[in-house]
Structure 1
Amino acid sequence: MFHLVTLLLFNFCLISAWSPTDSYAPGEIACPKNYNGVRLADQLSNEESDWIQSRNEITDKNLIEFLNHANMDDFDAENFITGLNRSIKIGLAFSGGGYRAMLCGAGQFSALDNRTRGAWEHGLGGLVQASTYMVGLSGGNWMVGTIAMNNFTHVEKIIEQGTIWDLSSSIINPGGWKIWKTASTFKSIDDDLDDKKDAGFELSLTDFWGRSLSSQFFAGLDDFGAALTWSNLQNADVFTNHEMPFPIVVSLGREPGTLIVSINSTLFEFNPYEMGSWDPTLYQFTPVKYLGTEYNNGNPVNDTCIGGFDNAGFIMGTSSTLFNQFLLQINTTSIASTVKSIITTILKRVSHKEDDIAIYRPNPFYNTSAAIDKISKNDTLFLVDGGEDLQNIPLAPLLQPERDVDVIFAFDNSADTEYSWPNGTSMIATFERQYNRQGVNASMFPYVPDSQSFINLNLTSRPAFFGCDSKNLSTIQAQTHNPTSAFSSPLIVYTANRPFSYSSNTSTFKMSYENGERDAIIQNGFEVASRNNMTLDDEWRACVGCAIIRREQERQGQEQSEQCKQCFAKYCWDGSLDRTSQINANFTDNGSTEGHTKIAIRSLCKNYVIKRACSITMFGNKDTGED
């Protein structure tokens, strides 16, 4: 009864996609008739294609509403959108970076979400409702996955209910001083791991990590969603009614025994229907619902399929295996010896020489046409943190021509610099990838500057547009021999984490946050996405609208309005570079200033995401940036 009540409270659907064992253990289920478990990545799956077609009807309507609200000059949104023979597709991408990335991303998402109080008036409210895709990696996926798998909840509701995202105690010491609570939590996790092992499946540290994450992300479910599968989303009402963007998780393949993931690594994605890769080293997908099934060249070996392997927490943990290394350092932490002993006992049972990997065995791509033997000839597929190849913003799934994305809103909450602020490294890594063999199937990625120029030109202290003129991609097209049209290359709206009302550059490995700090980082994220509640640029919403329609205008040969030209002059990178040795670290309203000792921040004592008193200490002078 408790299991059913909690599910109803969180508006989940009791459907067949839950683990057939009603536990963390996978179990046998019937295979579909005439089932083949692998397909070539030469098009979208039929399921995704049909889903997107229905989602388009909703995004078209919401995009018209958003563009009308944007107060764009000389532009008729309804005539423009309804007059197209296609739908404009918007992708949202949220970077990795632990809880910092999750919380900063949550604030940014909330500023785009019309369900957030104040987002319509003081942010970009409605953009989520107009978006087709949302992609997360590592900590960014903790945010995307939490929202998607909790019935497409919203950030404000998460904060108000207080059931999930309680980060006040470290994930490795969830009970705090209540040792019995920590022991109980880990005993439950240990039992879950036993269930999976007894069912005949190999364990990895990611099993422990994923179950631990689930205690924070699915806290309202029985046993923290031990039976909740990623494919459960297929039949959830919010998904079948196309009320949410299509969620995608990013991970990487890594050959066992290697320590460094190169730019040539195979990039995997999980979506509600499939798992696989567009990269030429694999170029195949398999149904995510039947992961754990033993295949030979895509055919079930025993005419029997497995369900429940695609545990939601396990997949979210797969995208963030970097933190497995943190678990291995448990003896260096200051937690109670009793708790340390419990965790150490569990880790000894699941630890292998490939410590920071997720084990997918049996390998669904075994003995298939995959281009490299380390995938096709190995009975185990090894996956790791999606950011280990430096592509910390999960842009790749949105660069696939099959998805036909017009504009990507890339939120960078990385810790690239000494002071844990982004410097564009992820954008550079994605740009460079198109010049090697793994980038041949993707659309062209626009030119970006070096990391020092990213900071010195204030491209991390305010939003920046890349790929504003598709004609400038011609050189890239010639160099890479990319067969896709320049119009298929999405315009990138890049927004980096920076301080407004809170210094949100916390460590990637910071494992606990009091509610006040958690909420302050979320609020700062709202301000980052909204240009400080629209106080820095009252035409920011219109400029976003100009970015959204740009590719379609180019396709039709339409000239921009004067307003859009001014927006692009303000936000588009002009191709210049600044490689001077001084890297700016302080932030003012409009950019950054030299020096590293303090941060100039400004707080507008308003809070549109959470209910709390405004009490912010100011550092420096907001007008001059003086320390």
Structure 2
Amino acid sequence: MFIHPTYLLISLLSYLSLGLAWSPTDSYAPGEIECPSDGQLTRIADSLSNSELEWLQGRDKVTRENLIAFLKQANMTDFDPEDYITNQITNETIRIGISFSGGGYRAMLSGAGQLAALDNRTTNASIAGLGGLLQASTYLVGLSGGNWLVGTIAMNNFTDVETILKEGVLWDLTDSIIDFGGINLIKTYDYYDGINDDLDAKADAGYQLSITDLWGRALSHQFFAGLNDTGAALTWSTLQEADVFQNFEMPFPIVVTDGRTPDSVIVNGNSTIFEVNPFELGTWDPTLYQFTQVKYLGTNTTNGTSVNGTCIGGFDNTGFIMGTSSSLFNQFILQINTTSLSSTIQSIVTDILQRFSNHEDDIAIYKPNPFFETEIGTPSILDNQTLFLCDGGEDLQNIPFQPLLHTDREVDVIFAFDNSADTNLSWPAGISIVATYERQFLPIGNGTLFPYVPDSESLLNLNLTAKPTFFGCDATNLTGLLNSSVATSKGNIYDTPLVVYTANRPFSFWSNESTFKLSYEDWERDGMIQNGFEVASRLNNSLDAEWPACVGCAIIRRSQERLGIEQSEQCQQCFERYCWNGDLSDSVTPPVNFTETGLTDGPEENGNRTISAGFSLWQGDSKYTIMKTIGYGILACVILSFAV
């Protein structure tokens, strides 16, 4: 296979600079490494880790400069970004979080376009989008398919979406991850044979396998194709040593996953939400309220220390971490006999699947349990030698908000991109934000605060999914949240971040693909990404020329409220357009069809759908001409024309 020279260079530089953090066996198998000097691998979740706190000091300096640049570019009236941000009297640090939902490749590709619209490295994003917002952000969070996006970008030297498409090495989705070689049976055979060898290496090292090991290694062939081992030795903690991370040039990436023992059922009220960041794995929830250093996963511990003075590295394989957050897709692998694979390939895959227990089909096994016999948490976690984790969206919170709600992270505004499939036509209906809102009133919410939101029916009926919507615009209206019996005593209304919610919708492409669609032709992939750009940019800023300024108003809102500063007239008008005003809808028949300006309640079948003729400003001279006949979202014809 041809590997572009750029990726060879990245691979070489990564190897030279990150060698200490790769798997010590230079393979998928974990191996022995030196323990930390104090020997303690776990800590109570009563604060941020010292490593994250130190990193934030450096990142805050970078985001401050980038935020000034973004706010200047946004053309905000009656507001001087440089004076406001650098004013020694106010001394304000504004932290921005970006969150991408799950939803398979639909979420990854739609999210990629949305991320590209926020990235000043994307051609024309500063003109037609919100370029620079990514560079001004502190946190970048993904779940399931959204984490495929975050993980790909973060772990490939903080690459950008436009580079991925130009180089053509990553995100080759033309053949299904199940049928990786397509008609090339030799390629497919080598693919599965190589994965099987990787699993053998981990098993031979004494570690129990789960089907997520297979899934994670398969994902890595698409997300880390630029590495000669497709990420077999690439660990999540590798990022700690990356120049782009150490120099604070990228946001802090976080993976979200849920805790669940085999054969149990998750509901929103009983889920323990885990996060994996570059330094730690753990949860803020009272069911455990602990973190462990991610680099030493796989170490046999009791009460947070190694039982024999030996520590393990390499267990935190990047593909395995990303596969854990999307383990729902393990079920698809089990349907291998329903695919068109040859009998020879099916036989190989069947042999691999026989390694795994049936009752752990959608579970990732973390054994040894890093929290075994520690002192805080529920017995179901502490007394079990295995930590079981699963897809982060199984608790209905398909947008990963939780890591951004903890007061120590001081997040002022969250840009939440919802690419879920809540309706029968695979469009979002805001179920995720409703679930997160309700969770704060349960004991497991542990004092987190989330602004008021309407029910999902109102979100649809009031067109709140057809355009970006701001929640929590006025902090003084959120005082009722503090009266909850489970709210933390140290909380205040300004700890509640303002949420900018943006749902997937069609502009130039019908992006409501099935969550389980596992292959995309290049034109489909690019069309999904293009549409995502238009979703985040309000159709290349054509629907609202002040959209970047309104985003700027949302970013500075909490800071202004803390300082008692009145909004400008422009910001007041922006908030009138985009803030939820508290209205609810009593309609029992939500709309289903999109127009350029919103939703209509026409028939689901080949009804009165229309689609705008958006075109690709961010890809230079490339243009999309899209002619479609829609029947349940099926594409009839798409023509792409790229200028040379």
Kindly state the Cα deviation for residue 481 of structure 1 after the two structures are TM-superposed: 4.4
What aligned pairs does 1:242-391 form with structure 2 within 5 A after superposition?
242-391=248-397
Kindly state the Cα deviation for residue 225 of structure 1 after the two structures are TM-superposed: 1.0
TM-score, structure 1 length as denominator? 0.96
Aligned positions, number = 618
Kindly state the Cα deviation for residue 253 of structure 1 after the two structures are TM-superposed: 0.3
SS of the equivalent of 2:501 reads: strand
Aligned partner of 1:229 in structure 2 is: 235
Mapped pair 1:67 → 2:71: yes
Kindly state the Cα deviation for residue 77 of structure 1 after the two structures are TM-superposed: 0.7
Change (3 A) 1:186 1:152: same
Change (3 A) 1:566 1:156: same
Task: Please identify, of 8-17 and 373-382, the stretch whose mean Cα deviation from structure 2 is larger.
Answer: 8-17
Which of 585, 609, 615 in structure 2 is aligned with 1:605?
615
Which of 169, 172, 177 in structure 1 is aligned with 2:175?
169
Mapped pair 1:615 → 2:643: no
Aligned partner of 2:155 in structure 1 is: 149
SS of the equivalent of 1:543 reads: helix
Kindly state the Cα deviation for residue 491 of structure 1 after the two structures are TM-superposed: 0.1
CA distance in 1, matches of 2:133, 2:443: 34
Aligned partner of 1:140 in structure 2 is: 146
Asked if the contact 2:473/2:498 (under 8 Å) is kept, the reply is yes
CA distance in 1, matches of 2:468, 2:629: 23
Kindly state the Cα deviation for residue 556 of structure 1 after the two structures are TM-superposed: 0.7
Mapped pair 1:239 → 2:245: yes
Kindly state the Cα deviation for residue 261 of structure 1 after the two structures are TM-superposed: 4.1
SS of the equivalent of 1:383 reads: strand
Change (3 A) 1:468 1:166: same
CA distance in 2, matches of 1:572, 1:505: 25
Mapped pair 1:510 → 2:486: no
Aligned partner of 2:484 in structure 1 is: 479
Aligned partner of 1:455 in structure 2 is: 460
Which of 583, 586, 609 in structure 1 is aligned with 2:590?
583
SS of the equivalent of 2:368 reads: coil
CA distance in 2, matches of 1:583, 1:303: 60
Which of 45, 51, 61 in structure 2 is aligned with 1:57?
61
Aligned partner of 2:634 in structure 1 is: none
Kindly state the Cα deviation for residue 299 of structure 1 after the two structures are TM-superposed: 1.1
Amino acid at match of 1:411: F
CA distance in 2, matches of 1:486, 1:614: 45
CA distance in 2, matches of 1:605, 1:230: 37
Aligned partner of 1:29 in structure 2 is: 33
Mapped pair 1:533 → 2:540: yes
Task: Please identify, of 581-590 and 23-32, the stretch whose mean Cα deviation from structure 2 is larger.
Answer: 581-590
Kindly state the Cα deviation for residue 32 of structure 1 after the two structures are TM-superposed: 1.6
Change (3 A) 1:228 1:502: same
Kindly state the Cα deviation for residue 614 of structure 1 after the two structures are TM-superposed: 2.1
SS of the equivalent of 2:46 reads: coil
Aligned partner of 1:426 in structure 2 is: 432
Task: Please identify, of 322-331 and 399-408, the stretch whose mean Cα deviation from structure 2 is larger.
Answer: 322-331
Change (3 A) 1:481 1:25: closer
SS of the equivalent of 1:36 reads: coil
Aligned partner of 2:218 in structure 1 is: 212
Change (3 A) 1:47 1:516: same
Aligned partner of 2:531 in structure 1 is: 524
Asked if the contact 2:422/2:428 (under 8 Å) is kept, the reply is yes
Give unmatched runs, 5+ long, in structure 1: 621-627
Asked if the contact 2:439/2:445 (under 8 Å) is kept, the reply is yes
TM-score, structure 2 length as denominator? 0.94
Q: Deviations over 1:108-141 (max 9, x none)?
A: 0000000000100000000000000000000000
Mapped pair 1:8 → 2:9: yes
CA distance in 2, matches of 1:556, 1:467: 17
SS of the equivalent of 2:454 reads: coil
SS of the equivalent of 1:19 reads: coil
CA distance in 1, matches of 2:454, 2:574: 20
Change (3 A) 1:619 1:344: closer
CA distance in 2, matches of 1:611, 1:199: 52
SS of the equivalent of 1:80 reads: helix
Q: Deviations over 1:446-488 (max 9, x none)?
A: 1111111000101100000000011111112112442211101
Which of 41, 45, 48 in structure 2 is aligned with 1:44?
48
Aligned partner of 1:466 in structure 2 is: 471
Q: Deviations over 1:554-576 (max 9, x none)?
A: 00111111110100010000000
CA distance in 2, matches of 1:606, 1:311: 36
SS of the equivalent of 1:285 reads: strand
Asked if the contact 1:393/1:427 (under 8 Å) is kept, the reply is yes
Amino acid at match of 1:269: E
Mapped pair 1:568 → 2:568: no
Q: Percent identity?
A: 61
Change (3 A) 1:606 1:30: closer
Aligned partner of 1:558 in structure 2 is: 565
Q: Deviations over 1:375-402 (max 9, x none)?
A: 1000000000000000000000000101
SS of the equivalent of 2:399 reads: coil
SS of the equivalent of 2:270 reads: coil
Aligned partner of 1:76 in structure 2 is: 80
Kindly state the Cα deviation for residue 255 of structure 1 after the two structures are TM-superposed: 2.1
Mapped pair 1:107 → 2:108: no
Amino acid at match of 1:392: N
Change (3 A) 1:98 1:8: same
Asked if the contact 1:132/1:245 (under 8 Å) is kept, the reply is yes
Aligned partner of 1:624 in structure 2 is: none
Asked if the contact 1:214/1:313 (under 8 Å) is kept, the reply is yes
Which of 394, 410, 415 in structure 1 is aligned with 2:421?
415
Asked if the contact 2:417/2:503 (under 8 Å) is kept, the reply is yes
Kindly state the Cα deviation for residue 222 of structure 1 after the two structures are TM-superposed: 1.7
Q: Deviations over 1:408-432 (max 9, x none)?
A: 0000000000000000000000001
Kindly state the Cα deviation for residue 193 of structure 1 after the two structures are TM-superposed: 0.1
Asked if the contact 1:600/1:619 (under 8 Å) is kept, the reply is no
What aligned pairs does 1:396-415 form with structure 2 within 5 A after superposition?
396-415=402-421
CA distance in 2, matches of 1:267, 1:433: 11
Give unmatched runs, 5+ long, in structure 2: 631-644
CA distance in 1, matches of 2:284, 2:588: 39
Amino acid at match of 1:455: L
Asked if the contact 1:526/1:609 (under 8 Å) is kept, the reply is no
Kindly state the Cα deviation for residue 581 of structure 1 after the two structures are TM-superposed: 2.1
CA RMSD of aligned residues (A): 1.6
Mapped pair 1:446 → 2:446: no
Mapped pair 1:501 → 2:503: no
CA distance in 1, matches of 2:359, 2:619: 44
Kindly state the Cα deviation for residue 332 of structure 1 after the two structures are TM-superposed: 2.0
CA distance in 2, matches of 1:35, 1:261: 36
CA distance in 1, matches of 2:76, 2:250: 26
Task: Please identify, of 83-92 and 285-294, the stretch whose mean Cα deviation from structure 2 is larger.
Answer: 83-92
CA distance in 2, matches of 1:474, 1:65: 33
Kindly state the Cα deviation for residue 30 of structure 1 after the two structures are TM-superposed: 1.2
Amino acid at match of 2:243: D
Amino acid at match of 1:121: I
Amino acid at match of 2:47: Q
Amino acid at match of 1:511: L
Kindly state the Cα deviation for residue 610 of structure 1 after the two structures are TM-superposed: 7.2
What aligned pairs does 1:84-123 form with structure 2 within 5 A after superposition?
84-123=90-129
